[in-house]
Amino acid sequence: MSINHPELAEKFATNVERMKWHDKALWFVRVKRDNQAKSLDEWEELRNTADKIKSHTLSHLDEYLEVFEKNAQARGIHVHWAKDAKEHNEIVLEILRSKSVKMIVKSKSMLTEECHLNPYLEKNGIEVVDTDLGERIVQLRHEPPSHIVLPAIHLKKEDVGTTFEKFLKTEKGNSDPTYLTRAARAHLREKFLGADAAMTGVNFAIAETGGIVVCTNEGNADLGAALPKLHIACMGIEKIIPRLKDLSIFTRLLARSATGQPVTTYTSHYHGPVEGGEMHIVIVDNGRSKILSQERYIKSLQCIRCGACLNTCPIYRRSGGYSYGYTIPGPIGSTLAPSRDLKKYYSLPFACSLCSSCSNVCPVKVDLAQQLYLKRQDVVDAGYLSPTKHNALKMATWLMCRPKLMDFAGFMARKVVPLLPRALVYSKFNLWGKNRELPPFPKNSFKELYKEKKGIQ
């Protein structure tokens, strides 16, 4: 079944108050990002360097993956390869069963969300506890994350208070953030101490050292990986960077782009198992090789999951993460999802105003606006557009290819539309017009104004 972004977005936008504070909260993060970027004279140089490193790595990905595997194994790390989500989940389950694991603590990992690992393990009798605070909140509510960095951004503190009252037995009606955070801390501390294994994501995997890097603000990955004897890290094949000295480029970009802070509170390197323990790394393809083979879209694999494109996107800010029907929402998700299943996610490239704000803020210079424009062409070529939209585009093309007729149509629109009854223009049957106000029509067309002003700078 195909995802219909407009319908799902309309559900979110029905609650106007929620839409407004969701928009405002994300724009606040975007402004913080801008302030951090302005504070570094070398910001654009960092972006250019990161772009070059990622581009080079992707063009030699097979070589760097082999180097990483060799160096990781030399450090006593078990390396596994998974071609898809099913294989990834089976590998993880096999490792956990071999150690008779009953409960794991897990730090944030969009890859495991992508593979639907949690329900798979729970179905097989293993309790999974997400330890990132936002992730734990949505897990208790049986919801997926709505943002790749701020998983519970769609919820207000009152929603969290109600959730904690139900599951953590906090005081009824108490939605004080400090109180709720302390309650979550006590709850999670108990889970950390009782866990049989820990699972983390991977922000960066360094081929040169065979080690992985995990960035968090809560220290949950560190506490989880330090206490149990078993640590499993899951990563996509695109997480590789060549050298240790490359890391500082990305850590300076990541936190500033994600949350508007100079650096994440914890940037932790893992180079092997704890004493007497085991460390496993599961390297996952799950459709990435398919994107790697698509020259037009390969740069989407440069993404470092900072979420900056989500924070700036006017569509995401006003439609929420669940309107995308995909693990990764926003502009980056709107290009990744159709690259894997164009028929299912054909509507996502149209969840874009082509304002290019996402391209402007991307720390690794992925031109997302261009990719989404190209994806729209793919959708049209594949015949997935609705008949109404397809015919409308054909009519528009026909009209625009006839300048005189186009001029006449514009002239008539400027004269006639202002005279029409408001109920006709903003009818509930007019899906485009019912939620929009038309601006005043100018007296002259752009072509006429251009001719009048020609030669004036």
Q: Give the burial string for 82-121 (b: 16+ CB within 10 Å, else e).
A: beebebbbebbbebbeeeebebbbbbbbbbbbbbebbebb
Q: What is the pLDDT of residue 457?
A: 46
Q: What is the pLDDT of residue 455?
A: 58
Q: DSSP string of 87-102?
A: HHHHHHHHHHHHTT--
From the list 348, 359, 225, the residue with the least C-alpha distance to 302 is: 359
Q: What is the pLDDT of residue 393?
A: 85
From the list 242, 220, 283, the residue with the least C-alpha distance to 88 is: 283
Residue carrying structure tokens 């164009």: 342
Tell which phi-psi region holds residue 76, choosing left (phi > 0), alpha (psi between -120 and 50) or beta: left
Cα–Cα distance, 457 to 325 (Å, whole number): 46
Per-residue pLDDT for 118 more than 50? Answer: yes
All domains of the chain, ordered by start, with CATH?
1-39+298-385 (1.10.1060), 40-286 (3.40.50.10420), 405-453 (no CATH)
Cα–Cα distance, 295 to 297 (Å, whole number): 6
Q: What is the pLDDT of residue 453?
A: 81
Per-residue pLDDT for 388 more than 70? Answer: yes
From the list 27, 20, 16, the residue with the least C-alpha distance to 435 is: 16
From the list 126, 129, 128, the residue with the least C-alpha distance to 100 is: 126
229-249 average pLDDT score: 98
How many residues can be counted in the chain?
457
pLDDT digits (tens, 9 = 90+) for 167-222: 999 999 999 999 999 999 999 999 999 999 999 999 999 999 999 999 999 999 99
Per-residue pLDDT for 142 more than 90? Answer: yes
Q: How many beta carbons lie within 10 A of that of residue 352, not counting itself?
A: 25
Per-residue pLDDT for 373 more than 60? Answer: yes
Q: What is the pLDDT of residue 147?
A: 98
| CA dihedral angle for residue 423, residue 424, residue 425, residue 426, rounded to 10 degrees | 40
pLDDT digits (tens, 9 = 90+) for 49-103: 999 999 999 999 999 999 999 999 999 999 999 999 999 999 999 999 999 999 9
1-14 average pLDDT score: 93
Q: How confident is the model at residue 315 (pLDDT cuts 50, 70, 90)?
A: very high
Q: Which residue has the higher pLDDT, 437 or 221?
A: 221
Q: Which residue type is seen at 449? A: L
From the list 253, 231, 250, the residue with the least C-alpha distance to 239 is: 250
Q: How many beta carbons lie within 10 A of that of residue 451, not counting itself?
A: 10
The neighbouring-strand residues paired with 270 are: 212
Q: Is the dihedral of CA 342, 348, 354, 359 positive or negative?
A: negative
228-243 average pLDDT score: 98
Q: What is the pLDDT of residue 431?
A: 67
Q: DSSP string of 139-182?
A: HHTT---SSSS-TTTT--HHHHHHHHHHHT-PPTT---HHHHHH
User: Coil, helix or strand for 276?
Assistant: coil
Residue carrying structure tokens 């029905």: 14
Sheet holding 240-241, edge to edge: 240-241, 204-206, 211-216, 266-270
The neighbouring-strand residues paired with 232 are: 199, 280
Q: How confident is the model at residue 456 (pLDDT cuts 50, 70, 90)?
A: low
Q: What is the pLDDT of residue 423?
A: 73
